């Protein structure tokens, strides 16, 4: 721990700036992980299989209640919007689904792109600290007295290396978190796109003896 504290101290203000970036990154990662994996996510295939059976049985009210049972999930919110217009025309069903989608999508995408930005900021702060450290080291070689030269040179090199290392230590896990959370975001949005279209087709064709779009 003493070695880490000494490395942090030798990195100067750049280490504190990178630490601030890491705190933001950790906070966003935890918040997005909770929301995307536990609040917005749902077993879409199983959920839509139940919705399909209820719609085909012309039990729209029961299907809406099923959506209400998962009020925080992203897909049920969109599906519920379409179900509430089940007895209306195709245009009204489509408009209701699109409106709900426009409301849900920003919530699902919220803050995840910021992780990539924070990773870049951490890397650039580390690089800037490296450049400042190297400048100090070269100045020591040029202007410092012989008795102070070694100390100033060591301080400049320590600043350069420690800020680079800490910047990468923050940036790499942040990029990994961004990759994982972006994948989950894409999964949720793809399910909304696919199943909302299939629900729209199902509602339009129900009772007409058409092909069930959820089975295609």
**H or E stretch at 172:** helix 146-205
Euclidean distance between CA atoms 215 and 26, whole angstroms: 42
- pLDDT, one tens digit per residue, over 92-108 is 989 999 999 999 999 99
| Average pLDDT of span 35-54 | 93
Euclidean distance between CA atoms 191 and 75, whole angstroms: 7
Whether 76 shows a pLDDT value over 70: the answer reads: yes
Ranges of each domain in the chain? 2-204
Contact 19, 168 (CB under 8 A): no
Q: What is the mean pLDDT of the chain?
A: 87
**Residue 216, pLDDT score:** 46
**Residue 146, pLDDT score:** 65
| Average pLDDT of span 24-37 | 96
pLDDT higher at 125 or 208: 125
**Residue 209, pLDDT score:** 52
Between the alpha carbon of residue 144 and those of residues 12, 139, 151, 152, 154, the distances in Å are 20, 7, 10, 8, 12
Q: How confident is the model at residue 206 (pLDDT cuts 50, 70, 90)?
A: low
| Closest to 206 measured CA to CA, from 62, 51, 47, 44 | 51
Give the tokens for residue 115: 């992780």
Q: How confident is the model at residue 207 (pLDDT cuts 50, 70, 90)?
A: very low
Contact 81, 100 (CB under 8 A): yes
- pLDDT, one tens digit per residue, over 1-20 is 566 676 667 667 888 999 99
Contact 74, 188 (CB under 8 A): yes
Q: How confident is the model at residue 50 (pLDDT cuts 50, 70, 90)?
A: very high
- pLDDT, one tens digit per residue, over 89-147 is 888 989 999 999 999 999 999 999 999 999 999 999 999 988 888 887 777 666 666 66
**Residue 148, pLDDT score:** 67
């Amino acid at each position: 721990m003493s070695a880490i504290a000494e490395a942090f101290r030798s990195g100067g203000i750049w280490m504190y700036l990178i630490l601030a970036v890491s705190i933001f990154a950790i906070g966003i990662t935890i918040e997005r992980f909770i929301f995307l994996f536990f609040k917005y996510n749902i077993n879409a295939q199983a959920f839509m299989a139940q919705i399909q059976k209820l719609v085909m049985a012309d039990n729209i009210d029961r299907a809406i209640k099923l959506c209400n049972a998962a009020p925080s999930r992203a897909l049920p919110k969109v599906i519920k919007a379409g179900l509430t217009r089940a007895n209306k025309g195709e245009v009204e069903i489509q408009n209701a689904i699109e409106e709900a989608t426009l409301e849900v999508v920003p919530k699902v995408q919220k803050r995840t792109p910021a992780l990539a930005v924070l990773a870049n900021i951490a890397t650039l702060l580390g690089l800037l600290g490296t450049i400042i450290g190297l400048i100090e080291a070269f100045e020591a070689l040029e202007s410092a007295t012989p008795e102070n030269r070694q100390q100033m040179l060591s301080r400049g090199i320590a600043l350069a290396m420690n800020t680079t290392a800490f910047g990468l230590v923050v940036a790499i896990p942040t990029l990994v978190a961004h990759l994982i959370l972006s994948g989950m975001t894409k999964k949720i949005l793809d399910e909304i796109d696919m199943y909302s279209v299939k629900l729209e087709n199902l509602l339009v064709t129900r009772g007409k003896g058409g092909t069930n779009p959820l089975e295609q």
